[in-house]
Amino acid sequence: MATTPVRLPHLPKHIWLKVGGWFEDRSHIYEGLLPIVQHPVPKTGKVGWWYVFGSATLTAFLIQVITGVALAMSFVPAPANAYDSLQYITHQAPFGWLLRGMHYFGASAMVVLITIHVLRIFLMGSYKFPREFNWLTGAFLLVLTASIAFTGQLLRWDQDGYWSVVVMAEQAGKTPVIGGLIAQLVVAGSTVGGPTLTRFFGIHVFLLPALIAGFILIHLWLVVFDGISEPPEPGVQVDPKTYKERYHAMLERDGVPFFPDAAWRDALFALCVVVAIMLLATIVGAPELGKPADPTIIQANPRPDWYFLWYFAVLSEIPPALEDWVILSVPVLIGILVIAVPFISNRGERHPARRPLAVFLVGGLLVSLVVLTLQGAAANWSPDISAASTARLPASVTSQATGQAAQGVQLFSEKGCITCHTVAGVGGKKGPDLTNVAGRLTREQLITRILNGGNNMPAFGGNITDQELQQLVAFLETLK
């Protein structure tokens, strides 16, 4: 049976104008947004697509906010429930698998896009006068992006997340004078546990998104106020004395409004980012969780998310004697250089063809990241899980262990010590070699280290009885 289509009442055009005018008089949205969306920008020409990564990063961040809010509706930030609540979201909640997949691949997209954006700005000299503060806010956003990606790992409350935080806390603890305080602030106590999970949830869900949103607003305000940097040309140098006059003259001569002349590229690329994330979430899906977090029963081969593998590869290759110096000094030096770049090089050539050092640095960084990431996939930063079931201490070691020490030999494997530590050439390689540990540490020092942890080792204070502790120490005292 045919139906008559429903027609909306036709209102005269002047009615809509009155409604729009009434709303604008009170909200000033049009008045405020018009200068922003129509501010003039240079003709981007052949390099126009290089300018889309900033807005694409913002798109990825918005995806993270939307999916993160949805996931937080069902996630329980408590050690007894966090792992199971994520399993419920992934396998039972309506579209939970899609939300978690989009959140996972959105994080990867955000890391990749902001990295490309920062490298593009550096390579094209877009940080030069008068955009020094644009560079600094972008650098802070890069650090905040890495931070929010890292804090999200622990919320899974599996072995990967647990051990990643243990490693990070140990590195923070090496900071002179205030290292212990920093480590305690990070893990909300002396060991990674329930308070750590709660703290990371608050940082990941509330603090870092607020900081990122604030810096994005500042960054966009500076971009609108200072203008988008024009495509670099060989031979055209930046001179703080004349740049603004030349830039504004160029905009008056052949500038175009951002919307729609330039915005369509950003919109199209942002759409591609959204589609790519949804396709990856649908076809590939978020990775399955590892074994539940347990510091004493190691049943996984923990690895951080792929974009942090390069850092763990560095940790695995540093000689023990230089580890503290590298861990503490290199990030500080890199931070100083990043902050100093726009102030020590805020003039001169911008085109990559005239800046071979910049090209060399960017190329070297990309090659290093690829090589280290591949190395990190097979690095010894994590325990040798197979050692717990296959490694056997040689008779030259076990024959000296009698009484309590003999029980300690068995505990050395049961508690997973052998997965991290080598004794007489047998065991894992992440922790220190214990072949002669009794010659380096006293009985009191051994007890303290076992109970409190240290150097990437979890604290066993709440997971070992007094009798087991005495037996284990008795065995270690034979290793000299």
- Give the length of the chain: 480
Amino acid at 188: A
In a domain, 14, yes or no: no
In a domain, 382, yes or no: no
Q: Which residues of the chain are under the pLDDT cut of 50?
A: 1-3, 6, 8, 299-300, 385-386, 388
Q: Does one domain contain both 204 and 316?
A: yes
What are the contacts of 111-117 at 24+ separation with CB within 8 A? 111/145, 111/146, 111/149, 111/307, 112/307, 113/53, 113/56, 113/57, 113/60, 113/273, 114/53, 114/57, 114/138, 114/141, 114/142, 114/145, 115/142, 116/53, 117/53, 117/54, 117/56, 117/57
In a domain, 310, yes or no: yes
Structure tokens given for 16: 């809509």
Structure tokens given for 247: 């830039």
Say how far apart CA 376 and CA 303 lie, in whole Å: 9
CB 67 within 8 A of CB 99: yes
Q: How many CA atoms lie less than 13 Å away from 58 in the CB half-sphere?
A: 15
pTM of the model as a whole: 0.78
Q: Does one domain contain both 224 and 133?
A: yes
CATH of the domain at 410: 1.10.760.10
Q: Does one domain contain both 353 and 422?
A: no
The dihedral of CA 311, 312, 318, 324: what is its sign?
positive
Q: Does one domain contain both 276 and 400?
A: no
Query: Each residue of 18-39: pLDDT tens digit?
Result: 777 777 777 777 777 777 777 8
Say how far apart CA 79 and CA 61 lie, in whole Å: 27
Reduce the DSSP state of residue 40 to 3 states and report it: strand
In a domain, 15, yes or no: no
Q: Does one domain contain both 454 and 422?
A: yes
Query: Each residue of 347-369: pLDDT tens digit?
Result: 999 999 999 999 999 999 999 99
pLDDT of residue 9: 54
pLDDT of residue 197: 94
Range of the domain at 333: 45-293+303-376
Q: Does one domain contain both 371 and 463?
A: no
Q: Does one domain contain both 362 and 454?
A: no
pLDDT of residue 379: 61
pLDDT of residue 301: 58
Q: Does one domain contain both 327 and 464?
A: no
In a domain, 141, yes or no: yes
